[in-house]
Structure 1
Amino acid sequence: MPLGVVVRKTPGVTRWAKWNWSAVAVLPGAAPAHWLELRHEGEAVEYHATTLTLTLWATDSEAYLANLSDSCPSVYVVMRDEGTDAPLNMLLLTASPYEGQDYADNGEDIVEKVPMPEGLVAWVRDFALTHHEHEAFVKRRRDNERVDLKQDGKGDARIRQTSDVYRAPNRGLV
């Protein structure tokens, strides 16, 4: 589904950042755009930055259901400042909080959590419920073999060694 990304530019609060950029909304079914000004209030300006495609995957249905169970279901907008002609490069839209977290962890990308409109919530819910397959929890059982009773002094059994790893180092007397 094509989603337009609305980005708000406000004055920065520190001397190191002249402007603060944040994604504030998505527009379902939006036409293509490139930093089209939507609204101007004082020094704050809202832009229709771009239109990206939100793709849902059947294997991520568990993540979508986790997102929908949140108090405010959201779309995650992944942006990057690459120093091009556009203020920010819009990389990706996702409804998976797990994927959003993965992009937030790398430190290079800006990930904004934007509330989903009602129609988009229904679309994602229908998709997730259609494709979700419940996976039963299987508890692993520990075997009864005691591995701590044998001490042969060889260290890790997977590494071949010809001598005791706990021996004193050999002094090379000259």
Structure 2
Amino acid sequence: MAKINARSVEMPLGVVIRKAPGATRWAAWSWRAVAILPGAGPAEWAELRREGDVVEYHAATLPLTLWADETEAYLVNLNDRIPSVYLVLREEGDDDRPLVPVLVTASPYEGQDYADTGEEIVEKIPMTPGLIAWVRDFAQAYHQEEVFVKRSRSDKRGEPRQGGIGDPRVQSDADVYRAPDPRRRRAVQ
């Protein structure tokens, strides 16, 4: 069911899209992603259920890939009120199939990146309990807390201390590239 790599794991997810009559006269149909099917086989707009004018399709099966470097994003998602997957859709000119599923991700950060472009539609679909457990197990196995280290300036960089380089525009009897000695300050009167 899931492909395993040293730094990633992958599971196929079926995407269920619902077609319902539009609520306004300007939109004949309303299309919404409503569910996912973990471990689904390949499909292309296979009809799952029909109730009157409302039809649900298994639109596509896309791989959900979890990466070891993205565990912080997965934990943020799991701590949300409703853990979800983010489905990226592109509009197509076809009236029968106006949306093309492109990508599915468990990272809210990646979902936000696609939403910010304005070129794609991003749907948030609740995870099933089994998928929540799968993502949680992966995140706990690979997550490493980043320790905050405050950077501090130090004069101990292995270089000799230089108070500055002389300005060639200043007339001086001595070497113009000689740095002034900070220990010899003249009193200004």
CA distance in 2 between counterparts of 1:119 and 1:12 reads 33
Shift of 1:16: 2.4
Q: 1:132-147 maps to which residues of 2 (within 5 A)?
A: 132-139=143-150
CA distance in 2 between counterparts of 1:70 and 1:5 reads 21
Provide the TM-score with structure 1 as the length reference.
0.77
Q: Deviations over 1:25-76 (max 9, x none)?
A: 0001111011011111121111000100000111110000000001111010
- Are 2:111 and 1:111 aligned? no
The aligned counterpart of 1:5 is: 15
CA distance in 2 between counterparts of 1:67 and 1:129 reads 13
CA distance in 2 between counterparts of 1:14 and 1:66 reads 36
Shift of 1:106: 1.0
Q: Indicate how the Cα distance of structure 1 residues 134 and 8 shifts in structure 2: closer, same or farther if over 3 A, else same.
A: same
More deviation in 25-34 or 84-93?
Answer: 84-93
The aligned counterpart of 1:151 is: none
The aligned counterpart of 2:25 is: 15
Unaligned runs of 5+ in 1: 144-174
What is the number of residues matched between the two proteins? 143
Bigger-Rg structure (1/2): 2
Shift of 1:18: 1.5
Provide the TM-score with structure 2 as the length reference.
0.71
CA distance in 1 between counterparts of 2:53 and 2:150 reads 57
- Are 2:97 and 1:91 aligned? no
The aligned counterpart of 1:101 is: 112
Percent sequence identity over aligned pairs: 69
Q: Indicate how the Cα distance of structure 1 residues 16 and 119 shifts in structure 2: closer, same or farther if over 3 A, else same.
A: same
- Are 2:135 and 1:124 aligned? yes
- Are 2:68 and 1:58 aligned? yes
Q: CA RMSD in A?
A: 1.7
**Equivalent residue in structure 2 for 1:71, among 63, 78, 81:** 81
Shift of 1:12: 1.4
Q: Indicate how the Cα distance of structure 1 residues 130 and 15 shifts in structure 2: closer, same or farther if over 3 A, else same.
A: same
Unaligned runs of 5+ in 2: 1-10, 155-189
SS of match in other structure, 2:81: coil
SS of match in other structure, 1:31: coil
The aligned counterpart of 2:49 is: 39
